[in-house]
Structure 1
Amino acid sequence: MNGALTVVIPTLNEAPALPALLALLARSALVGAVVISDGGSTDGTVAIAASHGAIVVAGGAGRGAQVSRGIAAAPSAWLLLLHADSLPQPGWDDAMSRCIASNRSGQAWYGRLRLASADPRARLIEYGAALRCALLRLPYGDQALLIHRDTLAAIGGMPTLPLMEDVALARRLGRAGLAPCDMIVMTDAAAYARDGWLRRSLRNLARLARFLAGADAVLLAAEYRR
């Protein structure tokens, strides 16, 4: 199973986070390739990716389209879709190997969110994410997603939305197509500290509710960038 996995990472000015993530991935025998799908970085992201031996593809910004381009460049059938500011925790590749070995057709797996903060409010957000996944089977992209290329093709590929592409993908897979994996993914919490823990959480929840109710992802993305 060595080298069975391609990790696909969409980036836009991720130079501070990328070296630690790429170094971690390089230490795993499971990872055969890393694809950085860049959306126009100006901070050295592309140079860092190239210096670590990653495959680099470039195009317009927008996470869904970036992930789709990265998948097209991936050399292996098994894909791990991962955010640049997320770090899989020790044992993650063993957990991935067990999922791959289970050989469950049409199945994709997501990890468990852990925020990189000692603030007690971080634990509440983690609990909320676990509850969302348990009740709705709606993992977010910062939890990572392991999926086989054939499974992705069977549901129509990666949604090329600028925002909420992770939710749209989860809805295409459906409850039966998603399962939790025994993997913790540590994600940067700086945005919560900057914007306010409660405020950002409520805005995220409102954005999800609007998307599920049919709001245009392009409009939501424009609001998100303000």
Structure 2
Amino acid sequence: MRAPLSIVIPTLDAEEDLAATLMALMEGLSAGLIREVIVSDGGSQDRTLKIADEAGAVVVSGAASRGGQLRRGAEAAKADWVMFLHADTNLAPGWSAAVEAHLPSDKAGYCRLQFADGGWQGRWVARWANLRSALFGLPYGDQALVLSKELYQSTGGYRDMPLMEDVAMARALKGRLVALPIVATTSAARYQHGGWLRRGSRNLWTLARYFMGVSPERLAQSYRK
């Protein structure tokens, strides 16, 4: 019987983080859970593709847009289940058993977030993210997402949009999301660079504007500034 899970990882100049993310997936290979790892690249100019190739990953390439990259990766996936995972997010040991236990479910699963080297600020932001996910059904992409290909396709899949692709997917999965007993540790670099309070506030304001109907294209322009 073929392994049931494809892993899709969107990348763009991810050489600093990708190797560790791939290493954390090894237990899934050993358990016979992973059929393939798909790196969906958006035009990396560093060693990202070399690292992916050396790890035996399938590489698909296209324009840099996380939503589009996730969509292309899903289209290339051959397994019955797909996990979408950011290149700077590591799954804690034991994740493969939790995912395997989830496979009979008709729902999508997401992980509990924590930050690497985030200090007390990281713990507070992670606590809010996990609360937001539980209360409002809005896990973000750095919490990973695992679901059947059938469920994924029933939502229309990830939209090719420059920002908020994970929120759009969470809204499409409303009522069909459950927390998995897996910790996903993601890089704190963006928060440390931009400031925890400043970046957190900007994220909340961007989310609010998205719910008010501002287009992802306009949001992306403001966000990058």
Q: Secondary structure at the match of 2:79?
A: coil
Q: Secondary structure at the match of 1:43?
A: coil
Looking at structure 2, the residues matched to 23 and 216 of structure 1 have their Cα atoms a distance apart, in angstroms, of 37
Aligned to 2:61: 58
When normalised by structure 2's length, the TM-score is 0.95
Aligned to 2:86: 83
Alpha-carbon displacement from aligned partner over 1:66-94 (angstroms, at most 9, x marks no partner) = 00000111120100000000000111111
Alpha-carbon displacement from aligned partner over 1:179-209 (angstroms, at most 9, x marks no partner) = 1111100000011111111111100111111
Name structure 1 gaps, 5 residues minimum.
Answer: none
Matched residue type, 1:186: T
Aligned to 1:20: 20
Question: How many Å apart are 1:2 and its aligned residue?
Answer: 7.2
Answer yes or no: is the 8 Å Cα contact 2:27–2:96 preserved in 1. Answer: no
1:223 aligns with 2:213: no
1:43 aligns with 2:26: no
When structure 1 is superposed on structure 2, of 25-34 and 38-47 the one drifting more is 25-34
1:172 aligns with 2:175: no
Aligned to 1:207: 206
Aligned to 2:158: 158
Matched residue type, 1:181: L
Q: Secondary structure at the match of 2:3?
A: coil
Question: How many Å apart are 1:222 and its aligned residue?
Answer: 2.1
Give the direction of change, closer, same or farther, for the CA distance of 1:118–1:218 in structure 2 (3 Å limit): closer
Matches within 5 A, 1:73-222: 73-100=76-103, 103-105=104-106, 107-174=107-174, 176-222=175-221
- Residues matched between the structures, number: 222
Q: RMSD in angstroms over aligned alpha carbons? A: 1.3
Q: Secondary structure at the match of 1:32?
A: strand
Question: How many Å apart are 1:118 and its aligned residue?
Answer: 4.7
Percent of matched pairs sharing the same residue: 44
Looking at structure 1, the residues matched to 191 and 44 of structure 2 have their Cα atoms a distance apart, in angstroms, of 23
Looking at structure 2, the residues matched to 209 and 70 of structure 1 have their Cα atoms a distance apart, in angstroms, of 28
Answer yes or no: is the 8 Å Cα contact 1:36–1:70 preserved in 2. Answer: yes
When structure 1 is superposed on structure 2, of 11-20 and 152-161 the one drifting more is 152-161
Looking at structure 2, the residues matched to 61 and 118 of structure 1 have their Cα atoms a distance apart, in angstroms, of 28
Looking at structure 1, the residues matched to 2 and 204 of structure 2 have their Cα atoms a distance apart, in angstroms, of 39
Answer yes or no: is the 8 Å Cα contact 1:2–1:31 preserved in 2. Answer: no
Question: How many Å apart are 1:152 and its aligned residue?
Answer: 1.0
Matched residue type, 1:210: R
Give the direction of change, closer, same or farther, for the CA distance of 1:4–1:191 in structure 2 (3 Å limit): same
Looking at structure 1, the residues matched to 71 and 4 of structure 2 have their Cα atoms a distance apart, in angstroms, of 19
Give the direction of change, closer, same or farther, for the CA distance of 1:201–1:118 in structure 2 (3 Å limit): closer
Name structure 2 gaps, 5 residues minimum.
Answer: none
Answer yes or no: is the 8 Å Cα contact 2:5–2:79 preserved in 1. Answer: yes
Looking at structure 1, the residues matched to 56 and 14 of structure 2 have their Cα atoms a distance apart, in angstroms, of 16
Looking at structure 2, the residues matched to 14 and 152 of structure 1 have their Cα atoms a distance apart, in angstroms, of 26
1:33 aligns with 2:36: yes
Question: How many Å apart are 1:162 and its aligned residue?
Answer: 1.3
